[in-house]
Structure formats: C-alpha cells, structure tokens
C-alpha cells in the first residue's frame, strides 16, 4: 500500500495563534482516515493547507510520494484533491448538474452550454460511484444530505482521488449519516482515499481505518481504529494539561432565577435548533452548557436575550415571563449577556469605548437626565469601568477597533456586569483570548456568581465548562443529552455526551 498524502512538519501561524505546530500526517491510499480534535485544534487549518486555501510557514507536502507545491486551490484540484467544506459552496438556484460542472462546463460550438453533455456527464459519474442523484433538481429544493452528495460529486467530477470531508455529519440526520457512510465505503471501494474530519467518536469507530488526533495545533496520537476505543480517543482529544484552575468556593444556590420549560427555537433556515429544552439556573450558581458548536447554543442564548423569537415554551426570569418582552425590557428585568459574536454584537467597532460602555444604561439616570446625556457622568463611568476591569487603553475615547481582543472582551464584560444582572449569560466568553485574559474573564464570572447572580455559561471549551460550572448540561442537536454536578463530571463522560453518545451507547435514548 502506498501513501496517498504525506504532510511533514507543517506550521501555520495566524496572528496570535499557532494553528498548526510541526504537524505530521500520513494517509494511506484507499483508507478512510479520521482526523479528530476539539474546535480550534487545527484540523481544518491543516486541511485548508492541503487544499491550497492556506499557505503554511513551514513544512513539506507529498502526494503519492512526490513532493508538491500547492500555491492555490486550483493546484490542489489538479493534484486530485477534493474537499467538501462544512458550509457547502453550492449555488442554491442552480440545478445539481450545473453546480457540479460549474467552472468547467462542457461547451457546444464554443459559446453555448452543452446542457445535454452537462446532464450526461453528471449521470455518468453518479452511476460510476453509485451516488444516486437527479441532475435537474434544484439545490434549494434538496435536503442537506443530498446537497452534500452534490458536493462530493463536484470533487469527483474534477477527478479527485483524495477526498477531504470537513465535519460532514455535523449537519446530517442519523439516517443521512448512514447513507453518507455507505457512499464513503463505495468511494473507497472505487479506489479513492478519504480524510474524514470529525469530533464525533462514535462515527470514528464506525467508519475509519485509522485515526489521527490533534490538540492545540499538534498531533497527539495516531492509531488504528481497531486498536482503540472511544474513551481513549476522548482522552486524546480533550485531555490537555489543565493550565488554568479557577479557585472558587462551593456554590450557594438560592432561588431559581432563570427557568426554561420546553423551549423550541427555529434557526435562520427555519430548522428547529432548540427542541424542547428545559432547565433552571439558581442565583449563586453557574450552569455550564457544553456541546459542540451548532447544536442549538446560539439560538438558545438568542431566545433568552430576545434577539430571536421563541416558537414555543417558557422563559422566565425571576418568575417573570420574558417571551413577550423586547430586548431592553429583558435587560431591565435583570438579564445581561456577553454575546458570542464579540465583534458584531458585543461592541460597535468604530464607536469609542465610552460609547460602547453605555449602550445598556444611556437612557436612564445617572447617565441620562431626561433626554439629555450627562457627559461628566459618562466619562466617570467609563473611567471607573476601565480601571476596575483593567482595560488597557490610552483613553476612553479611542474607537473599539484599536483594542486587542482581550481588552475588547473586558469592555463587554464591564458593561454587562456593571448592570448588576440577576441573570448573567456568557456565550463563548474566552474564545480567541490569550491566557491572561481568559483567567481574568473566568475570575469575573465566578465573582458574578458569588455576588448572587445566576450565571449561564455557554462554551464549546470543555475545560472551561468543567473548571467554572457548578452544574453542567450538554446540548446535542438542540436537546439536552444529560445533566451532571460540576464536581462529578469527567472530560470523557462529557465528551461522549457532546459526541451524541449516552452511557447506553445510543444518542436517541438520551433525550428526556
């Protein structure tokens, strides 16, 4: 057996982050190779390097034993590499055949589309690989699973032998996943090589021949699938040395502040993102919501804050129904939130720090007096928050875009915490921050709890969830997979829940 892909000593640095640090990857021809790791472990970066979308600072790539230089996307395609991205790159109003042939369409008399050839080519290729598809259907009318098949056919049409699938099952239903696995097996039977990026361990066990695990930009293990088990893989993925331990006392939970009952929320594509979720958060405790991103966390937070309507169910804060209130009214009830999209919703980048700090209280005393703002109070308010939250900035008047990510997050924290919230929501609060800022944010979250706020922490970082939460709930496909005391949770256990595996081994049994 020959080696299809060999990546040696790959190093890729983004501003402030080493995404790939001396990474080696070797994929045999004709195998299904799983590439696993947490979000941000560097899997996608590595594959984007292979596909010519990123340029590594160092390292060698060999395809079928020959050293190659992949400068652009087209080079990779020419080498027979195809990639199916997590977010499909399809044109919704085009037919299946048009999408597959786009960019290299068969022509008729040089200037016209040869629509018959387009159709026939697609039929031929779909027959050859056993991927059933109707070439004339429009993408927008097709279910996600079929759209993915189109993406695969797109790569095959361009004669890909090496197929990269980036988290292909993230958007699929269980049945679609089974179909996809069938397709992958038939591809391999046709001599193709597949690299399968995922963090769902059950799937790794089911489909792959070998596994490479990544963590923090490094490869932490390579093994044959038959020689490992989910527990061991989970440890590899999440078992990083715990650098940050938050010192906190035992929680003193008091009354229920946030009460959610049978909540249903739709996402932007009119799909149900949150399906019948119920939980409570008490004053003086931190409830951590763990889960792979895209399992309904965003929609859950947006529904509580008021950015997205709740289709069904109850959201109560301090026994007051929130669903009929607008965002400001909810904030006045006592809801504060550090939003997930720090740069979009958290701050107005071109606005000054001072202005960014008053969006939740500019309309009431002491900041405002009637319709007028009180500049001296605003200045003092800003100065105080800058000091207490240690925002490193030359002045309160610089625009937010002049600050580093950590300082920006401090601005958001300062604003949201200065409202003395009863319910404090922190969504992915430390994503992309440096160690110092992470520690700072963690400390503030615990302080908010100790002051008596109910804290809802949403994070994809297991470590963060485990070190901060008093109780933990895991979301999977919009449902709660399980709940556990923070002290009793283990990384492996949570990791399995996050991957949709319950202790009994079937995700469907895990609802409630």
Partner 1 sequence: MREKLRTITQLLRNAFGRSIGILLSILAAVMVGSIIMLIEGQNPLEIYWLLIKGALGSQRGLLISLQRATPLIFTAIASTLAFRTGVFNVGVEGQFFIGAICGAFVGYAVKLPMLIHLPLTLAAGFFGGALWAFFPTIMRQKLGVSEIITTIMTNYIATFLISYLTNYPLRHTPTTPETPPVQPTAQLAQFVELSEGTFGKGTQAHVGIFIALLVVIVMYIIFKRTRIGYEWRMVGLSFPFSEFGGINLDRTFIGGMLVSGGIAGLGGAVEILGVWREYKDLFAAGFGFRGNLAALLGGQNVIGSTIAALFYGGMEAGALGLEWSAGVPRQLIDIVVGLIIFFMAAEGMWAFVRRIKWVRGSRAVHRTTEDLEV
Partner 2 sequence: MDFSWILDILQRYVFNIANLQGMLRLATPVVLAGLCALITSRAGILNIAGEGMILFGAWFGVAGSYFFRSAWMGLLAAMLSGLVVGGLFALFSLKFRAHIIIMGIAINIFANSATIFLTREVFGVAGAFSDPNIAGLPPIEIPILKDIPVLGPLLSGYTFIVYLAWILVALTYVFLYRTPWGLHLRAVGENPQAAETLGINVQRVRFGAVMASGVFASLAGVYLSLGHLQMFTEQMAAGRGFIGMAVNTFGGGEPVGVFLSSLLFGIVETIGWRLQGERIMPVYFISMLPYLATLAALTIFTLRKQQAKKAALERAAREA
Interface residues with partner 1 (CB under 8 A)? 305, 307, 326-328, 330-331, 337, 339, 341, 344-351, 355-356, 358-360, 362-363, 368, 371-373, 375, 392-394, 398-399, 401-402
Give CA 300 to chain center in angstroms: 14
Question: Binding of partner 2 at residue 170 (CB under 8 A)?
Answer: no
Region class of 251: left (phi > 0), else alpha (psi between -120 and 50), else beta: beta
Task: Look at residues 458, 470, 391 and name the one whose alpha carbon lies nearest to residue 430.
Answer: 458
The yes or no reply on residue 102 touching partner 2 (CB under 8 A) is: yes
272 binds, among partner 1, partner 2, none (CB under 5 to 8 A by kind): partner 2
Rounded to whole angstroms, the Cα distance separating 49 from 66 reads 17
Going by the DSSP 8-state scheme, the letter that residue 464 receives in this structure is: H
Residue selected from 58, 113, 244, 344 as contacting partner 2 according to rule CB under 8 A:
113
Q: Candidates 38-46, 102-110, 430-438, 482-490 — which segment interacts with partner 2 by CB under 8 A?
A: 102-110
Residue 271 interacts with partner 2 (CB under 8 A)? yes
CA distance 34 to 206: 11
Shortest distance, CB of residue 434 to partner 1, whole angstroms?
Answer: 14
Per DSSP bridges, beta strands 81-84 and 162-166 are: parallel
Selected binder of partner 2 within 18, 21, 137, 266 (CB under 8 A): 266
Alpha carbon dihedral 374, 377, 382, 383, in 10-degree steps, equals 140
Q: Name residue, tokens 């070797």.
A: 26
> Among 120, 292, 116, 132, which residue's Cα sits nearest to residue 200?
292
**Which of 21, 28, 29, 105 lies at the binding interface for partner 2 (CB under 8 A)?**
105
Q: Which does 359 bind (CB under 5 to 8 A by kind): partner 1, partner 2, none?
A: partner 1
CB of 267 to partner 1, least distance (A): 17
Selected binder of partner 2 within 65, 103, 143, 436 (CB under 8 A): 103
Q: Quick one: 98 or 161, whose CB is closer to partner 2?
A: 98
Provide the sign of the torsion angle of the four alpha carbons 448, 454, 460, 464, taken in this order. positive
Is residue 398 close enough to count as binding partner 2 by CB under 8 A?
A: no
- Tell me which of partner 2, partner 1, none is bound by residue 93, counting a contact when its beta carbon lies within the kind-specific cut-off of 5 to 8 angstroms: partner 2
Please answer whether residues 181 and 175 qualify as being in contact, where contact means their C-beta atoms are separated by less than 8 angstroms.
no
Q: At CA 499, angle to CA 497 and CA 500, rounded to 5?
A: 65
**Is 240 among the residues that bind partner 2 (CB under 8 A)?**
no
Nearer Cβ to partner 2 (249/270)? 270
Judged by CB under 8 A, the residue of 71, 107, 128, 392 near partner 2 is 107
Q: How far is CA 174 from the centre of its chain?
A: 20
Q: With binding defined as CB under 8 A, does residue 112 bind partner 2? A: yes
Given the complex with partner 1, which of 298 and 331 has the nearer CB atom? 331
Q: Which of 148, 134, 143 is nearest to 95 (CA)?
A: 134
Q: Looking at residues 290 to 319 of the shown chain, list those that interact with partner 2 (rule: CB under 8 A).
A: 311
Q: In the bound complex, what is the minimum distance in angstroms from residue 350's beta carbon to partner 1?
A: 4
Q: Does 268 bind partner 2 (CB under 8 A)?
A: no
* HEC profile of 287-325: EEEECCCCCCHHHHHHHHHCCCCCCEEEEEECCEECCCC
User: Whole-angstrom Cα distance, residue 447 to residue 441?
Assistant: 10
Q: What residues between 50 and 79 interact with partner 2 by CB under 8 A?
A: 73-74, 77
User: Can you tell me the distance from the alpha carbon of 216 to that of 237, in angstroms, rounded to the nearest whole number?
Assistant: 9
- Which one-letter DSSP state was computed for residue 141? G
Among 15, 66, 111, 227, interactor with partner 2 by CB under 8 A: 111
Of residues 55, 71, 89, 443, which one binds partner 2 by CB under 8 A?
Answer: 89
Cβ of residue 51: shortest distance to partner 2, in angstroms?
Answer: 9
Interface with partner 2 by CB under 8 A: which residues? Answer: 73-74, 77, 89-94, 98-99, 102-105, 107, 111-113, 115, 154, 264, 266, 270-272, 275, 311
């Amino acid at each position: 057996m020959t080696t299809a892909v060999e990546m040696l000593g790959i190093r890729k640095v983004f501003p402030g982050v080493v995404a790939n640090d001396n990474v080696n990857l070797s994929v045999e021809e004709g195998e299904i190779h799983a590439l696993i790791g947490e979000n941000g472990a560097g899997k996608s970066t590595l594959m984007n390097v292979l596909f010519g979308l990123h340029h590594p600072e160092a390292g060698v790539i060999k395809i079928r034993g020959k050293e190659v230089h992949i400068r652009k996307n087209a080079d990779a395609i020419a080498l027979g590499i195809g990639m199916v991205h997590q977010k499909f790159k399809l044109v919704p109003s085009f037919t299946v055949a048009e999408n597959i042939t786009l960019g290299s369409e068969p022509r008729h008399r040089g200037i016209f589309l040869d629509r018959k050839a387009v159709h026939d080519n697609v039929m031929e290729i779909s027959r050859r690989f056993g991927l059933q598809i109707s070439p004339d259907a429009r993408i927008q009318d097709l279910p996600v699973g079929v759209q993915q098949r189109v993406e695969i056919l797109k790569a095959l049409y361009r004669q890909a032998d090496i197929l990269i699938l980036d988290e292909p099952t993230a958007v699929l239903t269980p049945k679609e996943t089974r179909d996809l696995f069938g397709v992958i097996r038939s591809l391999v039977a046709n001599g193709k090589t597949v690299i399968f990026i995922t963090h769902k361990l059950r799937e790794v066990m089911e489909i792959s021949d070998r596994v490479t695990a990544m963590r923090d930009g490094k490869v932490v293990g390579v093994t044959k699938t038959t020689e490992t088990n989910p527990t061991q893989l989970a440890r590899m993925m999440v078992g990083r040395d715990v650098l940050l331990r938050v010192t906190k006392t035992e929680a003193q939970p008091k009354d229920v502040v946030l009460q959610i009952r049978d909540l249903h929320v739709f996402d932007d594509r009119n799909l149900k993102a949150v399906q019948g979720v119920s939980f409570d958060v008490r004053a003086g405790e931190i409830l951590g919501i763990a889960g792979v991103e895209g399992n309904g966390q965003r929609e859950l937070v947006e529904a509580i804050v008021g950015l997205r309507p709740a289709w069904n169910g109850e959201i109560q804060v301090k026994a007051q129904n929130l669903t009929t209130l607008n965002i400001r009214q909810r904030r006045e009830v006592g809801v504060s939130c550090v939003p997930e999209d720090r740069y979009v919703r958290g701050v107005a980048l071109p606005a000054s720090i001072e202005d960014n700090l008053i969006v939740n209280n500019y309309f009431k005393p002491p900041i405002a007096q009637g319709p007028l703002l009180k500049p001296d109070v605003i200045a003092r308010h800003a100065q105080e928050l800058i000091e207490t939250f240690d925002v490193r900035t030359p002045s309160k008047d610089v625009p937010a875009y002049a600050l580093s990510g950590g300082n920006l997050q401090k601005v958001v924290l300062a604003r949201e915490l200065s409202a003395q919230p009863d319910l404090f929501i922190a969504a992915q609060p430390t994503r992309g921050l440096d160690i110092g800022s992470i520690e700072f944010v963690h400390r503030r979250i615990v302080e908010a709890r100790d002051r008596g706020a109910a804290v809802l922490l949403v994070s994809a970082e297991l470590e963060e969830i485990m070190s901060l939460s008093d109780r933990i709930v895991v979301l999977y496909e919009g449902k709660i997979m399980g709940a556990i005391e923070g002290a009793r949770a283990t990384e492996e256990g949570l990791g399995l829940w996050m991957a949709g595996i319950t202790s009994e081994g079937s995700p469907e049994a895990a609802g409630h």
